[in-house]
Structure 1
Amino acid sequence: VLLSAIANAENNDGADVDELKVARVFVDEGPVLKRMHARAKGRGSQIIKRTSHITVVVGSGK
């Protein structure tokens, strides 16, 4: 994720890679995938697969 943020800053904004620093990093909750898991006697239980959004903000060291 960090390499992608650096590449985006270099290609989209023309930033100098040597002067970039991590400004902020945060993780937000993403969508939850709900699946069924077969159990005994024809029953089922729910499997919750959590996902997340990772955000990395890079900026110049100034």
Structure 2
Amino acid sequence: MEIKAVAKYIRLSPQKARLVADVVRGMGVEDALTTLRFMPKKGAGIIRKVLASAIANADQVDTVDVDTLYVKQILIDGGPMLKRFSPRAQGRANRILKRSSHITVVVDEK
């Protein structure tokens, strides 16, 4: 039985979040939480929170054994971008895109 948790509008670029997600995809949840706890990236803490939420969601279902869960999917989708401008020489401006992410974690039993 698939159980998921979603975090939306996270101020982290999808490219950086996918680097972290690729490491823990397919792991057992205990190994994934331990790996994310000691990973020195901003996205690791965010994905760890979403994974903990998915585990808590699974804990609410009576038929699911939390000890046998594994990370089935981690989807990182792009969210809306904040558009900013940086002044450049001779009156020009460069566009700066501050990207955001939607993170979905799906856990399932082995």
CA distance in 2, matches of 1:41, 1:9: 57
Q: TM-score, normalised by structure 2?
A: 0.46
The ranges of structure 1 where at least 4 consecutive aligned residues each deviate by more than 4 angstroms after the TM superposition are: none
Q: Deviations over 1:25-58 (max 9, x none)?
A: 2211111110122334544322101111121100
> What's the TM-score, normalizing by structure 1?
0.72
Q: Write the mapping of 1:2-41 to structure 2, written as runs, cut at 5 A.
A: 2-11=51-60, 13-14=61-62, 15-41=64-90
Judging by fraction of residues, say which structure has more strand.
Answer: 1
The structure carrying a bigger helix percent of its residues is: 2
* Structure 1: runs of 5 or more not aligned: none
Please give the alpha-carbon distance, in whole angstroms, between the structure 1 residues aligned to 2:85 and 2:57. 39
Amino acid at match of 1:10: D
Match of 1:53 in 2: 102
Number of aligned residue pairs: 60
Please give the root-mean-square deviation of Cα atoms over the aligned residues, in Å: 1.7
Compare CA radii of gyration and give the structure with the larger one: 1
What is the CA–CA distance in structure 2 between the aligned matches of 1:4 and 1:39, rounded to whole Å? 44
